[in-house]
Structure 1
Amino acid sequence: MIKDRRALYQSELWKELDVSSRTGSRIASKLEEKGEIRREATVHNGNRTYLLRPAKKDLDFSLLMAGDKISPLVGNDGEIDPITSDELSEWIFQLVQNQ
Structure 2
Amino acid sequence: MSATASEEDLTDDELAGLELVRESGGIHQSEFWKALDVSSRKGSRIVESLVEKELIDREDTVYEGHNTYYLTPTAADLDFSLLMAGDMLSPFVADDELDTSSDAFSQWIMRLAYQ
TM-score by length of 1: 0.58
Q: Give the match for residue 75 of structure 2.
A: 56
Q: Which one-letter code corresponds to 1:43 in the other structure?
A: V
Q: Secondary structure in 1 aligned to 2:54?
A: coil
Please give the secondary structure, in 2, of the residue aligned with 1:19: coil
Q: Figure out how many residues of one structure are paired with residues of the other and give that number.
A: 67
- The aligned residue for residue 87 of structure 1 is none
Determine the C-alpha separation between the residues in 1 that align with 2:113 and 2:47: 40
1:47 matched to 2:66 = yes
Cα distance between partner residues in 1 of 2:114 and 2:44: 48
* TM-score where L is the length of structure 2: 0.50
The change in CA–CA distance for 1:58 and 1:39 in structure 2 (over 3 A counts) is closer
- Structure 2 unaligned spans of 5+: 1-19, 79-85, 89-110
The alignment status of 1:2 with 2:21, answered yes or no, reads yes
- After superposition, the C-alpha distances for 1:42-93 in whole angstroms (9 at most, x for unaligned) are 110111110001011189xxxxxxxxxxxxx64595889xxxxxxxxxxxxx
Could you tell me whether the CA contact under 8 Å between 2:55 and 2:73 is conserved in 1?
yes
Moved over 2 A (4+): 73-80
Task: State the alpha-carbon separation in 2 of the partners of residues 37 and 77 from structure 1.
Answer: 35
Alignment of 1:11-90 (within 5 A): 11-57=30-76, 74-75=87-88, 77=112
Whole-Å separation in 2 of the counterparts to 1:4 and 1:46: 25
Q: Structure 1 vs Structure 2: percent identity of aligned residues?
A: 45
Deviation at 1:7, TM superposition (A): 0.6
- SS of residue in 1 equivalent to 2:33: helix
Amino acid at match of 1:44: Y
Distance 1:51 1:58, change over 3 A: closer
Uncovered stretches (5+) of structure 1, i.e. residues with no partner: 60-72, 81-99
User: 1:55 and 1:15 mapped to 2: Cα distance?
Assistant: 22
